[in-house]
Amino acid sequence: MARLLAARPANSGAGLTVDAELADSLGIGHIPDRTYLAGKNTPIDVAATYAHPDDGRGSTLSGAALAIVVDNEPFDSCWVRFWPPTDNPLELMGPVTNGSQAGGSGDLIQWNPTFGRSYDPAGEFRRLPLAGVAAAAAAIAALLAYAGVRLRRLELASARHVGMTQSSLVGIAVAEISLWLAPACVLALTALAFAATWGNPDPPDAAWAAGARTVAAAAAAWILTAGITTATIRETRLVRYFQQR
């Protein structure tokens, strides 16, 4: 059991093997040592300590003191380490066989349920619905651009009435939008650069590019919708626009 826990007894004699945190709380600084943990008025030798971090493994041995015993009765569990590991990465840490009721076959339970499992941040990021986010941003931008032009339909129709050509009107509308949209995109891309690096141990290129595509889709949709909507404004509807103001 000491080898399973990577504990190195200071001597081969009898003694407890205790959790390192428990040893600290008992004031055990050097091994071997003695403690009154279980001996009341009689000190008991401590032969080794073992580390039991809170990394997902079972809490059975957390804060425990282990001792060698001689017993002819069946034990509650049997701890086994597999090395080298099999093709199943979940068997990197030995399973525990829980003896249920008499005559039961028992269950195989992994000592540390999280050991042997891996997390692929890049793969998880690629599976995010980023295309849908960009499409939603483009749709919202298009709706806002359409509403902005329609609110100015009387002004635009009046400009057509005094002789401004359709192409000139569309060019002016696009230029006006670009005056504030370009700085807004620069500000958004700069904020994305900080967001992509904050708390991200991986290169920020993929995260920044995903956000940049969303910004680009929204900006393109805004300009395109504004230009098309401006082109649909007719001088012949000037009176109707005036009545609807």
Specify the pLDDT at position 117. 61
Specify the pLDDT at position 12. 55
Specify the pLDDT at position 52. 74
Question: Which tokens go with 21?
Answer: 């945190």
Residues of the chain falling short of pLDDT 50: 89, 92-99
Specify the pLDDT at position 94. 46
Specify the pLDDT at position 93. 46
Specify the pLDDT at position 219. 94
Write the DSSP assignment of 160-214 as a string of letters. Answer: HHTT--HHHHHHHHHHHHHHHHHHHHHHHHHHHHHHHHTT--S-THHHHHHHHHH
